[in-house]
Each structure stands twice: as C-alpha cells, then as structure tokens.
Amino acid sequence: MFIFNYETIVDPVLRDVRQAVPRFAGMNAGDRVLDVCCGTGAQVLEYGRQGIIATGIDIHPDMLNVAAKNRQRQGLANTSFQLGDAASLPYPDGYFDYASISFGLHDRDKASQDKAVSEMKRVVRQEGALVFIDFQVPLPGNVWARLARIVEFLAGGSHYRGFREYLKNGGLEEILRNHHLREECRTCLKSGLVLILKAKTD
C-alpha cells in the first residue's frame, strides 16, 4: 500500500521538483549521475528523459521493482537500477559526475545520514557536485508544510523520529556544514517547503 500511495500520490506531487533538479544543477546529456535512495525511480527516469546516464540505488527491492517496470515502459536505456545500501555504495571513487538524494536524509538518524553523505562524496569526481533535495528548515507555515507533517507522522516509528531530529538539527544546511561541503547554489519549490542545494567539496 505504501508503494502504491508513493507512486500514485507522492511522485505526481513532486513531478515539478524532479523536472527542476537537472536544470538547476547544470546537468547535461551524457553526464553520469547517481541517485541515492531512489525509491520508485522517478528522479532517475527524469534524468534519463533529459539524456543523462542515470543510475538509481535503493535498499528496498519492492521500490526497485516499480522503478524497473517504469523504466521498461518508458524505454529509457540510459537508466539503470541497483539494489544496495546508501551507507556502502558499490561504486569506485570518483565514478560519477553528480550524486543526488531526494528526501532520503530527513528520515534517518545522524549516523545513517553521515554514512550516506560520505559515500556520495566518495563516488563523485573532484570537479563534480552533490545535489540534495529535502524539506527546508524551518518548515514554512503553509498547507504544504502541514501536509508534510501529517505524512511524516503517519509514517511513524524511526521514520518520524528521524524527521523530528532533522528539523531539530537544522536540516540540509547543517548536514553540509558537518561534511565540509560548500553550497554553490540553492532554490526553493512548493512555496518554500522543498529546498534544493547544489554543493561541492571544500
């Protein structure tokens, strides 16, 4: 049911965000991009539609099954999906031009966040960039934020605890500081709910 709701409700709501990411980040056709915690693969497939060579990785096989079916239906041969853990990415150092993560940090504890971001840094070449898409902190006082709070509460358990810690600890800006990443540019969507950051290593 969660996957059904994610694909049929969440993915359509975030379609404009998915479309904005590659243009905002300066990705070009032929670039090699990794999307970490890719879920149903919506961001990867958007990369593929723009001519980017995109790989998605996720630890949940059910999500990847949805991603693979959508990939086949759309005929995007420049995309691929792999089962794997964000804390130990199965790629060599400096293999990708970009690594992105969409809403894959706010629901994790700090140790898991640190491992995922460290691995993203490792697999991106020195001249490349990391792209983060997640909730802006503090959340804006609008209907989008109220809806987000409800969804996160309903997810419950460790997911909701991670969300609360993410808000308490300062969100993406604090994660960048902790990992010595230099913000290159930012933009906000959904009336300030969604923050997109492009960052590079210092």
Q: What is the pLDDT of residues 68-107, one digit of tens each?
A: 999 999 999 999 999 999 999 999 999 999 999 999 999 9
* 21-30 tens-digit pLDDT: 999 999 999 9
Domain segments of the chain: what residues?
A: 2-201
At residue 7, the pLDDT reads 64
Mean pLDDT score of the chain, rounded to an integer?
93
Check if the beta carbon of residue 181 is closer than 8 Å to that of residue 130. Answer: yes
Residue 69 tokens, joined: 């079916």
- Span 143-166, mean pLDDT? 88
For tokens 């090699």, what's the residue? 32
Degrees (nearest 5) of the Cα angle 55, 200, 59?
A: 30
Pairing of strands 194-201, 124-135: antiparallel
109-123 average pLDDT score: 96
Residue 1 has pLDDT above 50, yes or no: no
Cα dihedral value 29, 96, 61, 157, nearest 10: -110
pTM above 0.85, yes or no: yes
The CATH code for residues 2-201 is 3.40.50.150
